[in-house]
Amino acid sequence: MSRLQQALSGHAAAVEQMLQNLLPAVAGPRGKVLDAMRYAALFGGKRLRPFLLMETAALFGVPAAQSCRAAAALEMVHCYSLVHDDLPAMDDSELRRGRPTVHKEFGDAVAILAGDGLLTEAFAVLADPACHPDSAVRLDLVAGLAAAAGAGGMVGGQMIDIAPERSGLDLDGIKDLQRLKTGAIIEYACDAGAILGQADENERSALRRYAADLGLAFQIADDLLDVLATPEELGKPTGQDRDLEKATFVGQLGIEAAQAEAGRLVSQARERLDIFVEKADLLRDVAGFVIERRS
Amino acid sequence: MSRLQQALSGHAAAVEQMLQNLLPAVAGPRGKVLDAMRYAALFGGKRLRPFLLMETAALFGVPAAQSCRAAAALEMVHCYSLVHDDLPAMDDSELRRGRPTVHKEFGDAVAILAGDGLLTEAFAVLADPACHPDSAVRLDLVAGLAAAAGAGGMVGGQMIDIAPERSGLDLDGIKDLQRLKTGAIIEYACDAGAILGQADENERSALRRYAADLGLAFQIADDLLDVLATPEELGKPTGQDRDLEKATFVGQLGIEAAQAEAGRLVSQARERLDIFVEKADLLRDVAGFVIERRS
């Protein structure tokens, strides 16, 4: 197992355990929403966003036992967005990570509530003193998450993704969509690590730029997987962008140029980390991983 | 116009203006989610929760110009809950305050996103230094809202409200439902005012008890209105609890005993405010208003 794979699975296990602790099952009629929140958040995927947060925090000496709380909050927000995006009124997806989506398993109403509950709980986790002893740090984490997840970030991006204008977007429009829908949260993942580590502005800025390049490369890789991967590899149907006539990076650039652009962005992302010398090697590795992955 | 009516409309106007400022319309394809958020939050109802927050804060000398930010955040959360509760997958309501509900006006997908956006923005507003200069105050506001709105509060209450067990609830079960679904946010409204005012624990505790009584009286009054008011008065259909065979306070107690219990709770709520002497007269007045209102 490579150094990166070890770190990925180690961090994923820490976040999984933290999510288990933060989302305990409860008895009685309200228990079902907790069941759905657990179904949505546990047994998760690559946990890329938590990894970015924890590795960025580690640059500044923040131990994983500390950073995995904020990482779990971030993952709750990511999972809430998947639950709501999968709803019949939105993307109407039946499979996610090879399992029925939350609304297929629990019904639409519970899925809406489970998403709402995860989003809300994320802020509770960040505001809790256990997240970080310094209240200014916790407030920065809350403010940053709200900005990244709201109408000026992820929610705004999802709005563009379902808007009638979506199919006719040009390359700049697709970039705007990506920057909001997936980029803002990836950028927040790295910024949150820097906040936890009480990084200086120069360090924070370098990490934000790294994350912006990485996020864009990640989206291009996602578009490529929709064309090149098998449904078995992805755990969900492929060819959806084409079927829905969505404008994508691959559609705009073609497969080869999209692959080249993703590679260029990964090189650039790695260079953003020069100031951290070899301490940032795992962050450099994961940048390559996002465009080489098969799922 | 009574002293209470003047205060209600004055605070409502301040919150309306603040919501206008905090939710500006934007151009481009993501503009539609802002339009829907504005539609959901502006031109609102009685603004009871903001009133409670602002009047409670005023007990401690916090000016309305300061408290109306936190009040606007609270109202965003209230409005988000209405938007999601009205969805076809939930209560399937077509009318709210005499207007088409958000999903009837903008479609289900945009309504889901608008709710998500309002909930997220509320946390952004509370975390912003403009909300209060003391970061410990802002963090308390964030933590309190997350607790009141999440699976241990409002989301949990809505889960009970749509659960199969709902129709068979006994009186204690209905009280639990009320405490979570509507009570937690009303209690938070008063607690947030106390937090903003940096009240001592004795004062906070008195205000929380006042709010708990008031919230329960409010729900009993709501159940009574569903039986006794006209659709024109309410701006939405009546008789829904009976049609849906929902267990309610009125169903359990009968109309007269429910009215008596609401009256008793209001008297008790008023007595909770004794320590604030005449400074709390408007809070005493509004307790009577919640059970005398016709809409």
Q: What's the confidence (pLDDT) of residue A247?
A: 84
CB–CB contact B34 A151 (8 Å):
yes
Task: Provide the shortest C-alpha distance from residue A108 to chain B (in Å).
Answer: 6
Report d(CA B281, CA B288) in Å as an integer: 11
Query: What is the torsional sign of CA A42, A47, A49, A52?
Result: positive
Task: Provide the shortest C-alpha distance from residue A90 to chain B (in Å).
Answer: 5
Cβ pair A266, A287 in contact under 8 A:
yes
DSSP helix/strand/coil, A26: coil
Q: What's the confidence (pLDDT) of residue B61?
A: 98
For residue A66, which of A48, A54, A78, A50 has the smallest C-alpha distance? A54
Q: What's the confidence (pLDDT) of residue A123?
A: 98
Cβ pair A190, A59 in contact under 8 A:
no
CB–CB contact A120 B160 (8 Å):
no
Cβ pair B139, A135 in contact under 8 A:
yes
Nearest CA in chain A to B128: A143
Chain A residue numbers with beta carbons less than 8 Å from the beta carbon of B120 are 119, 146, 149-151, 155
Chain A residue numbers with beta carbons less than 8 Å from the beta carbon of B19 are none
Q: Cα-flanking dihedrals φ and ψ of residue A127, to 5°?
A: -80, -15
Q: What's the confidence (pLDDT) of residue B229?
A: 83
Cβ pair A135, A216 in contact under 8 A:
no
CB–CB contact B124 A146 (8 Å):
yes
Task: Provide the shortest C-alpha distance from residue B166 to chain A (in Å).
Answer: 8
Report d(CA B72, CA B74) in Å as an integer: 5
Kindly tell me if the per-residue pLDDT of B181 is higher than 80. yes
CB–CB contact A159 B32 (8 Å):
yes
Q: What's the confidence (pLDDT) of residue A246?
A: 80
Domain count, chain A: 1
Cβ pair B121, B23 in contact under 8 A:
yes
Q: What's the confidence (pLDDT) of residue B69?
A: 98
CB–CB contact A113 B163 (8 Å):
no
Hey, which residues does A96 pair with through a beta bridge?
A: A99
Task: Provide the shortest C-alpha distance from residue B140 to chain A (in Å).
Answer: 8
For residue A49, which of A159, A145, A167, A131 has the smallest C-alpha distance? A145
Report d(CA B156, CA B123) in Å as an integer: 19
CB–CB contact A146 B160 (8 Å):
no
Total Cβ atoms within 10 A of residue A159? 29
What residue type is A251 in one-letter code?
G
Report d(CA A235, CA B279) in Å as an integer: 62
Nearest neighbour of B155 by CB, restricted to A33, A87, A158? A33
CA-based Rg of chain A, rounded to a whole angstrom?
18
Which residues contact residue B15 at a Cβ distance below 8 angstroms, ignoring those fewer than 6 apart? B44, B47, B50, B54, B68, B71, B72, B75
CATH of the domain at A35: 1.10.600.10
Q: What's the confidence (pLDDT) of residue B263?
A: 96
Which residues contact residue A103 at a Cβ distance below 8 angstroms, ignoring those fewer than 6 apart? A83, A86, A87, A88, A110, A111
Task: Provide the shortest C-alpha distance from residue B136 to chain A (in Å).
Answer: 7
Chain B residue numbers with beta carbons less than 8 Å from the beta carbon of A117 are 150-151, 155-156
Report d(CA B280, CA B203) in Å as an integer: 12
Q: DSSP secondary structure string, chain B? A: --HHHHHHHHHHHHHHHHHHHHS----STTHHHHHHHHHHHSS-S--HHHHHHHHHHHTTT--HHHHHHHHHHHHHHHHHHHHHHHSTTTT---EETTEE-HHHHH-HHHHHHHHHHHHHHHHHHHHSTTT-S-HHHHHHHHHHHHHHHSTTTHHHHHHHHHSGGGGG--HHHHHHHHIIIIIHHHHHHHHHHHHHTT--HHHHHHHHHHHHHHHHHHHHHHHHHHHHS-HHHHTS-S-HHHHTT---HHHHH-HHHHHHHHHHHHHHHHHHTGGGGGGGHHHHHHHHHHHH---
Q: pLDDT (tens digit, 9 = 90+) per residue, B207-261?
A: 999 999 999 999 999 999 988 888 887 777 788 777 777 888 998 999 999 999 9
Q: pLDDT (tens digit, 9 = 90+) per residue, A176-223?
A: 999 999 999 999 999 999 999 999 999 999 999 999 999 999 999 999
Would you state the structure tokens that stand for residue A20, as one six-digit string? Answer: 């288990």
DSSP β-ladder status, B99-100 and A95-96: unpaired
Cβ pair A37, A121 in contact under 8 A:
yes
The CA-atom distances, in angstroms, between B188 and each of A7, A138, B78, B191 are 41, 21, 12, 5
Q: How many CB pairs under 8 A join A and B?
A: 156
Relative orientation angle of helices A201-228 and A255-271, to the nearest 10 degrees: 160
Chain A residue numbers with beta carbons less than 8 Å from the beta carbon of B180 are 30
Residue in the structure block whose two tokens are 């996103």: B113
CB–CB contact B32 A163 (8 Å):
yes
Cβ pair A18, A71 in contact under 8 A:
yes
Q: What's the confidence (pLDDT) of residue B237?
A: 77
Task: Provide the shortest C-alpha distance from residue B122 to chain A (in Å).
Answer: 8
Q: What's the confidence (pLDDT) of residue A245?
A: 73
CB–CB contact A166 B138 (8 Å):
no
Per-residue burial over B186-212, b if 16 or more Cβ lie within 10 Å, else e, is bbbbbbbbbbbbbbeeebbebbbbbbb
Cβ pair B193, B234 in contact under 8 A:
no
CB–CB contact A121 B147 (8 Å):
no
Nearest neighbour of A143 by CB, restricted to B80, B112, B127? B127
Averaged pLDDT score across all residues of chain B: 94
Cβ pair A130, A124 in contact under 8 A:
no
ipTM attached to this prediction: 0.96
Would you state the structure tokens that stand for residue B7, as one six-digit string? Answer: 């205060």
Nearest neighbour of A151 by CB, restricted to B121, B123, B180? B121
Mark out the alpha helices in chain A (DSSP H runs): 3-22, 31-41, 48-58, 64-86, 102-106, 108-127, 135-149, 154-162, 171-178, 184-196, 201-228, 231-234, 240-243, 249-253, 255-271, 281-292
Report d(CA A258, CA A254) in Å as an integer: 6
Nearest neighbour of A84 by CB, restricted to B112, B124, B142? B112
Q: pLDDT (tens digit, 9 = 90+) per residue, B44-93?
A: 888 999 999 999 999 999 999 999 999 999 999 999 999 999 999 999 99
Chain A residue numbers with beta carbons less than 8 Å from the beta carbon of B134 are none
In the predicted model, residues of chain A with pLDDT beneath 50 are: none
CB–CB contact B162 A110 (8 Å):
yes
Report d(CA A172, CA A217) in Å as an integer: 15
Maximum C-alpha span of chain B: 55
Total Cβ atoms within 10 A of residue A43? 11
Task: Provide the shortest C-alpha distance from residue A282 to chain B (in Å).
Answer: 32
Chain B residue numbers with beta carbons less than 8 Å from the beta carbon of A143 are 124, 127-128
Nearest neighbour of B146 by CB, restricted to A28, A124, A162? A124
CB–CB contact B113 A143 (8 Å):
no
- Enclosing domain of residue A148: 3-292
